[in-house]
C-alpha cells in the first residue's frame, strides 16, 4: 500500500526506497504468486513528490529518477502476477506504476493521466513506452501531447483497465476478485 495519504500518495525518495525494498523481497520470495499495489485513502498516487525531489541536491534528484525508471522495469519483469488496484487518481509516476502492472483494476472514480505533459515535460519513468503498449498509438500520443486525463470508463473500453468497481467497499471487492482468480491466499 502506498502510504502517504497526506500528500495523496506522492512518490517521495522515502516511498521509492520502500517500494524498492518490497520488490526486492518479492523477487527473493519463493512462495509469493501475487503483488497488489494500492494507494491509501481515495487516491492511488498523484506521482512524484516534486517538492521533496526539488529539495534534493542535483545528483540525488537525478538518482531518484534513475531509480524510478529501474523500479518500473523491475515491476514489469517480476515473476508474479501484479495488480494495480487503482482506487482514485493515478497521475504521472503513479500512472506509470499502474501501467507497469499486469492488470489494472479500478474504482469508478479513478482517473489516469500525465499532468506533467501540460508543463512541456515527458513522463520520467517510461510512461511513453508504457502508455503506447496499452492504448492505440493515436490516442496515446494525443493524451501525451495535450496532457489530457483518461476516465476509468474510457480506460476500460480500450482494455487498459480490466475491471471497474463501484461503491465504498473497494478493498473487499478487490479481495473477492483476487479470490476469483484463485490467488486470494497468495
Its pTM stands at 0.94
Q: Return averaged pLDDT per consecutive 10 residues of the chain, 186 residues in all.
A: 93 97 95 94 95 96 97 96 97 97 98 92 92 90 90 96 96 94 58
**Alpha carbons 25 and 48: distance in angstroms, whole number:** 23
Q: Is 103 helix (H, G, I), strand (E, B) or coil?
A: strand
Percent helix, strand and coil across the chain, each to the nearest 5: 50, 20, 35
The alpha carbon of 151 is separated from its chain's Cα centroid by a whole number of angstroms, namely 15
**Alpha carbons 42 and 107: distance in angstroms, whole number:** 9
**Alpha carbons 11 and 52: distance in angstroms, whole number:** 9
**Confidence (pLDDT) at 119:** 86
Indicate which residues carry an active-site annotation.
Answer: 96, 116
SS3 string, 44-82, reads CECCECHHHHHCCCHHHHHHHHHHHHHHHHHHHHCCCEE
N-terminal to C-terminal alpha carbon distance within the chain: 16
Amino acid at each position: 500500500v502506498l502510504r502517504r495519504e497526506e500528500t495523496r500518495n506522492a512518490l517521495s525518495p522515502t516511498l521509492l526506497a520502500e517500494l524498492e525494498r518490497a520488490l526486492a523481497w518479492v523477487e527473493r520470495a519463493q512462495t509469493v504468486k501475487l503483488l497488489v499495489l494500492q494507494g491509501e485513502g481515495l487516491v492511488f498516487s498523484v506521482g512524484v513528490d516534486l517538492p521533496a525531489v526539488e529539495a534534493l541536491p542535483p545528483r540525488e534528484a537525478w538518482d531518484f529518477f534513475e531509480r524510478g525508471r529501474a523500479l518500473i522495469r523491475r515491476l514489469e519483469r517480476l515473476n508474479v502476477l501484479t495488480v494495480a488496484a487503482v482506487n482514485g487518481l493515478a497521475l504521472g509516476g503513479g500512472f506509470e506504476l499502474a501501467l507497469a502492472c499486469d492488470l489494472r483494476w479500478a474504482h469508478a472514480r479513478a482517473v489516469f493521466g500525465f499532468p506533467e505533459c501540460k508543463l512541456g515535460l515527458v513522463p520520467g519513468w517510461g510512461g511513453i513506452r508504457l502508455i503506447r503498449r496499452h492504448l492505440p498509438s493515436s490516442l496515446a500520443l494525443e493524451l501525451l501531447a495535450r496532457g489530457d486525463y483518461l476516465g476509468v470508463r474510457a480506460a476500460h473500453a480500450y482494455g487498459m483497465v480490466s475491471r471497474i468497481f463501484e461503491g465504498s467497499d473497494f478493498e473487499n471487492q478487490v479481495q473477492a476478485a483476487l479470490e476469483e482468480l484463485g490467488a486470494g491466499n497468495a
